[in-house]
Chains A and B, each alone.
Chain A
Amino acid sequence: DAGVIQSPRHEVTEMGQEVTLRCKPISGHDYLFWYRQTMMRGLELLIYFNNNVPIDDSGMPEDRFSAKMPNASFSTLKIQPSEPRDSAVYFCASSLGRGSYNEQFFGPGTRLTVL
């Protein structure tokens, strides 16, 4: 298996533009997570899905952020409009089950820079 795939790996955009980050989870995994990492706040959960349904989006910072999972093999995280404070590394992770013993597999991340 190729692992969790994220695209693009790097994104540079200007303030006000729409940004779409993409994630392909590991085949067969039923949980998908979006995390964000910054120097100030560390790694924090934004939202997670179970069987393509959003379960907890309490970490989504504002209405400018939205996430979808139209099918089991694809998810997007969209920021519209983007702001400089959204600059961060965004990670997607997937797991089989959500139990406390279930390993999460992380993608390589998308480094977003908003100018």
Chain B
Amino acid sequence: DAKTTQPNSMESNEEEPVHLPCNHSTISGTDYIHWYRQLPSQGPEYVIHGLTSNVNNRMASLAIAEDRKSSTLILHRATLRDAAVYYCILRDYGGSQGNLIFGKGTKLSVKP
């Protein structure tokens, strides 16, 4: 799986939007972009994924650059519960590897 680069940490204020960046300059045409997050003392949980087009779900939005070398996870209104480590992961289409390969992620702090 191709490598991703994320900032180590970010801060946000409650009820403000948060943009979490991820660089993946070596992404291949068949790589999906996945985001997981890990709340304190919990297992990781799926947030969103996409291939080329921007994606929205109830948790977040995923904006993918036109060249796909970067993406941004958008939390529209951060809450205290969104404080977590966010992982950006690339997974090859067809899944030659079933597992997820986690990097260090971005630790998001949310201030009240």
A interface residues with partner B (beta carbon < 8 Å):
4, 31, 33, 35, 42-45, 48, 50, 55-56, 91, 93, 95, 97-109
Q: Chain A nearest CB: distance from B111 CB in Å? A: 24
Q: Of all chain B residues, which has the CB nearest A3?
A: B43
B interface residues with partner A (beta carbon < 8 Å):
31-32, 34, 42-46, 49, 91-95, 97-104
Q: Given A100-B32, A102-B95, A108-B42, 8 other A-B contacts at CB below 8 A?
A: A31-B98, A43-B44, A43-B102, A45-B99, A91-B44, A97-B95, A103-B46, A104-B46
CB atoms of A42 and B43 under 8 A apart:
no
CA distance A31 to B100 in the complex (A): 12
Q: Of all chain B residues, which has the CB nearest A93?
A: B43
CB atoms of A100 and B44 under 8 A apart:
no
CB atoms of B46 and A98 under 8 A apart:
no
Tell me the interface secondary structure of chain B in the complex.
loop
Of B32, B44, B102, the residue contacting A101 (CB under 8 A) is B32
On chain B, the residues within 8 Å of A105 by CB distance are: 45-46
CB atoms of A106 and B43 under 8 A apart:
yes
Q: Which of B32, B43, B102, B103 has its CB near the most chain A CB atoms (within 10 A)?
A: B43
CA distance A85 to B99 in the complex (A): 23
CA distance A72 to B39 in the complex (A): 28
From known contacts A91-B43, A99-B95, infer whether A104 and B49 are also in contact, taking CB-CB under 8 Å: no
Q: Chain B nearest CB: distance from A49 CB in Å? A: 9
CB atoms of B100 and A100 under 8 A apart:
no
On chain B, the residues within 8 Å of A45 by CB distance are: 99-101
